[in-house]
Chain A
């Protein structure tokens, strides 16, 4: 057997190796360059009280969670019960960022499905979302006492993600100085 006739087979074997590894990766999961960077500052009106503003600086010194949601977002409805449960525990302040939404729609959504948030910031034109690199809703950020983003969750929070990733991280961050 001549070796050159084995070349196609060898090339194919390499290709299969890569495809096999690739199968276990999710191409939609884009790592956020914001992780371990300071959370971008903003100052926008609150959803429920339009005359009051919210800024991440208000929560300096605390571990907190920022959840990007919208009334038009179907996947948000999936994660909503998990958030409601989490909100009841009052582990950390849970701030919503109502993204590219209409105020009446958003209020109606919270009235119908329950409100897990301590408060929601109202990002009508999506500018805060751009600063946070939001490309799909829902997304969730965990921010530490120094205002640094420590984790970004893309897509709905499932009970597994909450128990396996988010709660341990929050406990660890709360203990840290």
Chain B
């Protein structure tokens, strides 16, 4: 009964979004007030209905209703409750429903938080979101219904893929989807602006907090996924340039460019068409990511069941959404995109250059991701593109972008003075050159990449310190000042992390008998043997390792090799001793003859700085969103509304 309710709610949601996607848009176009005011209630109903459907599916998982095919395929009565809820988005159908739930949530938020925006604009924005929702709801209902019944019901479920049975995986997809889908709001604002022909600073000011919020979630989602891969997969890496990882990274790159471009549009009224194009691009790449993940056109570690029918459907959807918005862009952008002029030496130029570099980086990731597909489609053979390509292309593109990150905030708008900037930045330059050679030397060897890494990290960090010192002379800075500083600090911290790990990590693959020791990165690891332990739905061989440094035992580590009852696939659970300046990492390979095991031991200096950097960036985003300017505006609007109400009642 509950699953049918969910299914029914989803069908109703489709009817509502069909209205939301048409009447308010037409109403705004023709100035028909009774259609314009439909937008908000329709958005609210849309959210309630999708939330009901989502709740119904979650309930089916919680209550182990194995008469629902999707539940039977992705859950099991022995699965712990938290993972049963995580299993809601453990497969194709459920993750699409999660996508839709997020979209309805964002739509609802726009409807609730846009009281100060004029009604026609809100109607257009919500209408565009309604159109996106309609096409995706059609996709879910026609090809990927999560509420299909299995008759007779299964006695027990297949269980969730063991890889996904991890706290990180419970939070990673919702975060990521919040980000992905959040760009739909920036997209809707951009399309609404093109439709209305009003591409002004007010539009940029409204778009900004939404874009930033989506970007925060995407940043955290990607970081969570990377962290999860690091500690669960047991491969010791944190990024693999897998097509699905790239699918989430590309919208991030464009989203980052969009954040900066929006700032320019708001403050200077320039870059308008560029901003709109980035807003369309960021969301299009989110959709493309969905297509790549769900259609199986590329091989990936995120192997989902594929169905060509679904692939065609998503492709058509992609063509409709992206094709029509780019057509609209080609048609309308030349008319609305007039901006102020600026000199070659100006903050605008630096920001534009940084933006172009981000777009180029995104393009190179896209090219590398789709290259196997291009080559195959042209009948030139089968190839795969791996990390060497991405590292070779990505570093040269991002290095100048990082260089500009320290320069642009110092430069004046419209016309900057190179001499003045050099005077302000020379200390940062000197510090970064010294750091570039001194730190790698201390760590044991200078290479081009490590020197470059520290040079850029200290250049960005140094510029930041100089800016902060200067800013404090003028009084305590507002939150928006810290937003940029924290965001850029996050990048510097992140670069230090990847440079340290890339340049100075140590790794050993060894065969260990109980009692054997191995020395990695100044730490001694003693293997005390492995024993069998039982988990709720798996059994594991748990190894015991004694980690000591300079002769004193620091800590015990217990990596596991798990075998889940439901599948024969063994799972590695690495044991990690984290630290600010280093992680030590033990993962069990295969059991060898007797009591010996193949063991992989890593020493990873500063690896946690990678995720700390991402957290700082996200924190910067939080500062940007919660800046006083936005709060004040909300308060002023609230006050105006209350006055108006009082005026009406008295």
Contact = CB atoms under 8 A, between A and B. Distances in A.
A22 B373 contact: yes
Contacts of A28: 299
B197 to A, nearest CB: 15
Contacts of A25: 297, 373, 376-377
Given A8-B280, A19-B315, 9 more contacts: A6-B330, A8-B326, A9-B323, A9-B330, A19-B297, A22-B376, A23-B312, A27-B296, A72-B568
A1 interface: yes
A15 B281 CA distance: 13
B433 interface: no
Nearest to A27: B299
A130 interface: no
B61 to A, nearest CB: 26
B308 interface: yes
Contacts of A13: 323
A24 B376 CA distance: 10
Nearest to A23: B311
A23 B326 contact: no
B373 A19 contact: yes
Interface in B320-346: 322-323, 326-327, 329-331, 333-334
Contacts of B370: 15, 18
Contacts of A29: 382
A72 B569 CA distance: 11
B382 A1 contact: no
A90 to B, nearest CB: 34
A31 B299 CA distance: 15
A18 B377 contact: yes
B323 A22 contact: no
B315 A27 contact: no
B297 A22 contact: yes
B463 to A, nearest CB: 33
Nearest to A20: B315
Contact of A5 (B291, B318, B330): B330
A22 B299 CA distance: 12
A50 interface: no
A98 B367 CA distance: 41
B256 interface: no
B319 A2 contact: no
Interface in B368-383: 370, 372-374, 376-377, 381-382
Count class of interface residues, chain A = 20 to 34
A9 B326 contact: yes
B568 A2 contact: no
A22 B330 contact: no
A6 B299 CA distance: 32
A16 interface: yes
B291 A27 contact: no
A31 B382 contact: yes
Contacts, number: 72
B329 A9 contact: yes
Nearest to B376: A25
Nearest to B327: A9
A72 B329 CA distance: 56
A21 interface: yes
Nearest to A28: B299
A23 B370 CA distance: 12
A8 B334 contact: no
Interface string B284-299: 1000000100011111
B329 A5 contact: yes
A2 B373 CA distance: 32
Contacts of A6: 330
A2 B299 contact: no
Contact of A16 (B296, B311, B319, B333): B319
B329 A18 contact: no
A65 to B, nearest CB: 25
B223 interface: no
Which of A6, A15, A23 is most buried by chain B, counting CB atoms within 10 A of its CB? Answer: A23
23 contacts: A1-B330, A5-B330, A5-B331, A8-B280, A8-B281, A8-B326, A8-B329, A8-B330, A9-B326, A9-B330, A12-B322, A16-B315, A16-B323, A18-B373, A19-B291, A19-B315, A19-B373, A22-B297, A23-B311, A23-B315, A27-B297, A27-B376, A28-B299
Contacts of B318: 16, 19
A27 B273 contact: no
A176 interface: no
Nearest to A74: B568
Contact of A12 (B298, B299, B323): B323
